[in-house]
Amino acid sequence: MKREKSEQLFIEAEKYIPGGVNSPVRAFKSVEMAPVFIDHGKGAKIYDVDGNEYTDYICSWGPLILGHASPVYFDGIQEALQKGTSFGAPTAIEVEVAKLITEAYPSMELVRMVSSGTEATMSALRVARGFTGRNKIIKFEGCYHGHADGLLVKSGSGTLTFGVPTSSGVTPGTAQDTLVATYNDLDSVKALFNENPGEIAAVIVEPVAGNMGVVPPDLDFMKGLREITKAAGTVLIFDEVITGFRLAYGGAQEVLEITPDMTTLGKIIGGGMPVGAYGGRRDIMETVAPLGGVYQAGTLSGNPIAMKMGLNTLTYLRDHPEVYQEMEEKAKLLEAGFKANIEKTGVKAQMVRFKGMTCCFFTDVPIDGYAAVMTADTKAYTKYFKSMLDAGNLMPPAQFEGIFLSAAHTKADIEKTIADHYQALKELVK
C-alpha cells in the first residue's frame, strides 16, 4: 500500500507543527511510521489522501459512535449555520441538551457544558475542591483524564506510549496534591485515605479503564470506591468521557449500577464536534459560578453548532437502544475471532472485552490492571499494526489504546478484519 502523499504532508507538517500533529498519538511514532493523513470518512470506512481505504477502529478516539459522516449528525446543521455560529448568550438548544443528559444520567442533577473532556475533568476537580474545601485528589495509574496539570501524573494513553508517565512542566506543588492509587486494588485506595485523613477532595476514575488499552473494572473494587468516598465525604467522580453513551446510553454507571457524585462526559456528546460536560449532585454543582464561588467559564461553551450535532447524536441513541446490543454483538464477534486466531497461531496475546469495548494486548499475562498491561510487547504491536494497516484496517496506532467500534461497522467488516488479524499474527510467529 502506497502512502506517498501522507509521507509528503507529514514532512511539511513537521515544519510548522510540533511533531507534525495536533495531538501526540496521531503521530504514529510508537508504530515507527509516518501518520496516515485523512481525506474523508464514510460509515465505518476512512480514506487517506493517497486514496487508500481502511476500516476504521479509531473512530476519532470515540466520538463517532454512528460512524463517519452519518446524516444523523448533520440534520438541521445548514439551518443552524445560517442562524449564526456563536452568540456568547444562552440558546434554547443548550437547554435541550442539558435535559437529555440529565435524563440519561440521573446522578447529574445539574450539568455544565464545556469544549473538551480535558476541560470537563479539570473543572469537575475544581468544583470538588471548592465543595469540600480540601486539596488532594486520588487518581489511578494508567487512567487518563485529559491534560490538565494535576491529572498528568502517572496518566495513560499517549503518556504511556511515549514513556512520560508524568509530564514535564507540571510543578511539584501541583503533582503533590495528586495521589496515585492502583486500578482494581482497593487496598491501595484505603492506604491513601488512611495516610491523608480528611484531606481528599475527590477520587477520579475511569469506571472502565480505556486509556491503558481496555481494563474492565472489578465490581467489588468499584463498589468499594463508592463506600470509601461516601464515608470520607469525598466526591467520587466517574470520568465517562469514553464510556458515556458508549457502554450503554446511561454509561458505565448504568451498567455497574453505581451512582457517582459527579460525572464528566465528552467525545460522543459532541457528535464529532469539540464538546465536554461535567455535572453531578445539585448541592455540589450549586457551588459553580454564578451560583457559587467556583469559577468556570467558556467563550464557546454550549456552542450552538456543536450542541446541534450532539443533540442529533444523543437523540438517535436514545431512540435506537438496539445500537448498544448490536455493538456488543459486533464486539463479541471480534473477540471470538481474535481469540481463535491467538489460539491457532500461538501468539502470546490476550483479547479483552467489556460490553462494546475491546483491546488486543500482546502478552500472556491476564489483563486485570496496570501491571499486567505494562507487560505487553509493544514491538509486536508495532509489527501487527503495520500488517493490519496494509491489509486495510486502521487500528489504534499504539498498544495502550482500545478498539473503537461504531454502529456503522458491519459483520462483514469485522469478519474481514478477523481474517486480516490471523494473517498479521502468522507474520509475527514467522
Q: Does 301 bind ligand PLP (CB under 6 A)?
A: no
Burial of 297 (0-12, 13-18, 19+ CB in 10 A): exposed
- Concatenated DSSP letters for 165-231? SS-TT--HHHHHTEEEE-TT-HHHHHHHHHHSTT-EEEEEE-SSB-SSS-BPPPHHHHHHHHHHHHH
- Selected from 35, 146, 150, 396, the binder of ligand PLP by CB under 6 A is 146
- Cell triple for residue 7? 509521507
16 is catalytic: no
144 is catalytic: yes
Q: Does 258 bind ligand PLP (CB under 6 A)?
A: no
Residues 6 or more apart whose CB falls under 8 angstroms from that of 145 comprise 117, 118, 121, 139, 151, 155, 204, 206, 239, 241, 264
- Candidates 140-148, 169-177, 244-252, 386-394: pick the segment binding ligand PLP (CB under 6 A): 140-148
Find, among 237, 306, 317, the residue nearest to 274 by Cα: 306
- Selected from 129, 145, 246, 421, the binder of ligand PLP by CB under 6 A is 145
Helix, strand, coil abundance in the chain, percent, nearest 5 = 45, 15, 40
390 is catalytic: no
Find, among 118, 154, 61, 136, the residue nearest to 370 by Cα: 154
- Selected from 24, 35, 41, 117, the binder of ligand PLP by CB under 6 A is 117
Size of the site for ligand PLP (CB under 6 A): 15
State the catalytic residue, choosing from 177, 185, 239, 261: 239
Smallest gap, in angstroms, from Cβ of residue 206 to ligand PLP? 5
Q: Does 355 bind ligand PLP (CB under 6 A)?
A: no
Instruction: Provide the residue count of the chain.
Output: 430
- Cis peptide leading into 260, omega within 30 of 0? no
Where is 156: in which H helix or E strand?
none
- Selected from 6, 52, 55, 121, the binder of ligand PLP by CB under 6 A is 121
Q: Between 59 and 414, whose beta carbon lies closer to ligand PLP?
A: 59
Residue sitting closest to ligand PLP (CB): 117
Residues 267-296 that bind ligand PLP (CB under 6 A): 276
Q: Between 291 and 297, whose beta carbon lies closer to ligand PLP?
A: 297
Q: Between 211 and 341, whose beta carbon lies closer to ligand PLP?
A: 211
Q: Does 345 bind ligand PLP (CB under 6 A)?
A: no
Q: In the complex, which residues of this chain contact ligand PLP (CB under 6 A)? A: 116-118, 121, 144-146, 206, 210-211, 239, 241-242, 266, 276
List residues with catalytic annotation.
144, 239, 267
